[in-house]
């Protein structure tokens, strides 16, 4: 079994096949997000730039960039300066974080407005959280550039694991209480049932994918054999990106389709 695993990981054909498959999968999700964005824009031109449009745009960008990166996987993974490889692989992950914290913001605003609670601080919190995460990641990249040691890698992975865990808890909290609020809504209707399904399903999907991301990234910080930023880990990359980005995003976009 170990020999088979090593043969697959070291095989150029397997590497190309898996990474090109990931490229195609990301391209499909990106295209679907773009189609949804265009449909939303056609239906709501008069509403300007909404949270829904921003969510689909960021998803289009995240998966589009991932598709390009995996399409040029040799050039990305074999970069002379490792920091550039990290930046290229981490940046879509940061955008993914922004997209789904934007969804959390949207849900939080709905909940607060329905309870006649102030919403002013919600957007500020969203912006502050994103700025803090991006700045921290930039500092980590600079540290890797200046001093490319395993300690910096460890800190970077632990940081992303913690961020993923916080987002998972955010979905559990905001999605859970919005679901409960809709469940207690006294009037039965088709739209209520649809929203219950949407909120419940998306909460479960996002909580699971961010929790898995947290666990995998956290474990890989201490186990070098589980690293994903190397060319000879195609199978691990396949399972990781399918489970934490491609499948969850495809499901969420499908559930929230208009």
118 φψ region: left (φ > 0), alpha (ψ -120 to 50), beta (else): beta
The DSSP secondary-structure symbol of 1 reads -
Which residues does 27 contact at the CB level (< 8 Å), separation at least 6? 63, 64, 67
The rounded distance, in Å, linking the Cα atoms of 82 and 91 is 14
Least confident of 27-36, 130-139, 176-185: 176-185
Mean pLDDT across 109-137: 90
Record the pTM.
Answer: 0.89
Whether residue 24 has pLDDT greater than 70: yes
Whether residue 83 has pLDDT greater than 90: no
- Give 168-189 pLDDT, tens digit per residue: 999 999 999 988 888 877 666 6
Highest mean pLDDT among 67-76, 83-92, 113-122, 243-252: 243-252
- Give 186-208 pLDDT, tens digit per residue: 666 667 788 888 999 999 999 99
Mean pLDDT across 39-56: 85
The larger pLDDT score, comparing residue 51 to residue 149, is at 51
Quote the pLDDT of residue 39: 92
Whether residue 156 has pLDDT greater than 90: no
The rounded distance, in Å, linking the Cα atoms of 32 and 255 is 12
Quote the pLDDT of residue 5: 64
Confidence bin at 74 (pLDDT 50/70/90): confident
Which residues does 173 contact at the CB level (< 8 Å), separation at least 6? none
DSSP string, 22-41: HHHHHHHHHHHHHHHHHHHH
Tokens 């499948």 found at: 247
Whether residue 82 has pLDDT greater than 80: no
Quote the pLDDT of residue 15: 82
DSSP 3-state assignment of 240?
helix
DSSP 3-state assignment of 228?
coil
The mean pLDDT value of the chain amounts to: 87
Whether residue 50 has pLDDT greater than 60: yes
Tokens 């189609």 found at: 35
Quote the pLDDT of residue 165: 96
What architecture does CATH give domain 2-255? Up-down Bundle (1.20)
Least confident of 3-12, 70-79, 142-151, 172-181: 3-12
Mean pLDDT across 138-150: 81
Which residues does 205 contact at the CB level (< 8 Å), separation at least 6? 248, 251, 252, 255
């Amino acid at each position: 079994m170990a020999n088979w695993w090593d043969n697959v990981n070291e095989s150029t054909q397997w590497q190309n096949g898996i990474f090109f498959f990931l490229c195609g999968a990301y391209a499909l999700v990106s295209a679907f997000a773009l189609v949804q964005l265009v449909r939303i824009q056609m239906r709501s031109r008069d509403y300007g730039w909404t949270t829904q449009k921003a969510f689909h745009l960021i998803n289009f960008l995240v998966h589009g960039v991932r598709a390009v990166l995996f399409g040029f996987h040799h050039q990305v993974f074999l970069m002379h300066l490792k920091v550039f490889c990290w930046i290229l692989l981490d940046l879509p992950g940061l955008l993914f974080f922004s997209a789904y914290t934007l969804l959390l913001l949207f849900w939080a605003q709905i909940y607060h407005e329905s309870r006649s609670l102030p919403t002013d601080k919600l957007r500020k919190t969203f912006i502050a959280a994103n700025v803090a995460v991006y700045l921290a990641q930039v500092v980590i990249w600079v540290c890797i550039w200046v001093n490319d040691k395993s300690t910096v890698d460890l800190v970077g992975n632990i940081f992303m694991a913690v961020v993923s865990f916080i987002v998972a808890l955010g979905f559990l909290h905001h999605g859970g209480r919005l679901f409960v609020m809709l469940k207690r809504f006294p009037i039965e209707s088709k739209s209520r049932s649809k929203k219950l399904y949407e909120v419940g399903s998306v909460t479960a999907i996002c909580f699971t994918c961010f929790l898995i991301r947290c666990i995998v990234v956290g474990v890989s910080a201490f186990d070098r054999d589980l690293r994903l930023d190397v060319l000879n880990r195609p199978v691990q990359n396949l399972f990781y990106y399918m489970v934490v980005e491609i499948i969850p995003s495809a499901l969420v976009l499908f559930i929230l389709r208009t």
